[in-house]
């Protein structure tokens, strides 16, 4: 399939702005530019309320839908290569997930590299998950109906969290997740230039996050987790994009889970690039992906209730 016309329009706008690649910018500017991409999400859905708090020291933002509870709880981890991304930048995505999945979203402001390298982000994810399991009821959540979701690096953290806490989550929704930081898959080369996320930027992310740590550590690359760990995963949705350099590793993760007997839904969105889920204001397929994610979560939450 060719590049989707709406995606091409987004890339043309970014090209016209003349910005350098994220890895070529000073860190404050790279972070600001990354958060500005959230403006492509358009007007977010209306929800009931939000609240900033801390989960045993980790900043989080809570989002309640405009409906009576208790609500299932979705832990959401933003993308940005463990280097970029923020609660503010993903505010619209979190609102959309809360409204459309009718759930309490806990958006996690985990520590970022290079100031806080691997495994700081994983440690923060585990801290927030245990906090939510312990205190979620007090916030109007249903701790028996927990799920995780995240995009890119956030998808990586979601997968690692599920693997570390087996049996605690009803579902995981992984949006073009990082699952293999060895970067051996063909799509890294095929789609590594001209489609927003580049091979050089991927390398920069990993260098800042991992440093000299083993990229095959299961906390860095969940594709390398043991069979018995992956076999315990809950129902899993993996979303990938045709022109995303992370396409193949996301699909490899879905294939491995499926081979181990996990219920897996995997869709490759034709014509899409990395980060398209955050572009709902300009890219119609992003709205379709949002519906797929929220329908998947709601179905998982209604099983065995």
Residues recognised as catalytic: 152, 244, 274
3 state SS of 77: strand
N residues, the chain: 305
Cα separation of 248 and 187, whole Å? 6
Strands 58-64 and 104-108: antiparallel
Residue 193 phi, psi (nearest 5): -140, 135
Query: Apex CA 113: angle with CA 41 and CA 229, to 5°?
Result: 85
Give Cα separations from 73 to 129, 130, 136, 145, 231 (angstroms).
Answer: 10, 13, 8, 6, 23
Cα separation of 72 and 136, whole Å? 9
Cα separation of 263 and 89, whole Å? 32
């Amino acid at each position: 399939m060719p590049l989707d016309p709406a995606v091409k329009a987004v890339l043309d706008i970014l090209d016209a702005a003349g910005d350098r690649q994220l890895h070529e910018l000073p860190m404050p500017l790279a972070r600001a530019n990354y958060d500005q991409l959230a403006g492509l999400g358009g007007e977010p859905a209306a929800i009931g309320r939000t609240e900033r708090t801390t989960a045993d020291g980790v900043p989080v933002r809570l989002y309640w839908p405009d409906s009576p509870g208790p609500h299932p709880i979705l832990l959401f981890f933003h993308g940005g290569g463990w280097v970029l991304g923020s609660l503010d930048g993903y505010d619209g995505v979190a609102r959309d997930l809360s409204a459309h999945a009718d759930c309490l979203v806990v958006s996690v402001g985990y520590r970022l590299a290079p100031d806080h390298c691997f495994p700081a982000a994983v440690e923060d994810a585990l801290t927030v998950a245990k906090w939510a399991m312990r205190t979620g009821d007090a916030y109007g959540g249903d701790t028996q109906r927990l799920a995780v979701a995240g995009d890119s690096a956030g998808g990586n953290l979601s997968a690692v969290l599920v693997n570390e806490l087996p049996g605690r989550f009803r579902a995981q929704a992984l949006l073009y997740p990082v699952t293999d930081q060895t970067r051996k898959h063909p799509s890294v080369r095929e789609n590594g230039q001209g489609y927003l996320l580049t091979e050089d930027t991927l390398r920069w992310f990993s260098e800042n996050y991992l440093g000299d740590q083993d990229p095959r550590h299961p906390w860095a690359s969940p594709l390398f987790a043991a069979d018995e760990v992956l076999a315990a995963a809950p129902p899993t949705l993996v979303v990938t994009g045709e022109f995303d350099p992370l396409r193949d590793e996301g699909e490899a993760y879905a294939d491995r889970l499926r081979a181990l007997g996990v219920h897996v839904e995997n869709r490759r969105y034709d014509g899409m690039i990395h980060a398209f889920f955050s572009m709902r204001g300009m890219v119609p397929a992003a709205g379709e992906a949002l519906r797929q994610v929220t329908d998947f979560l709601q179905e998982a939450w209604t099983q065995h209730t």
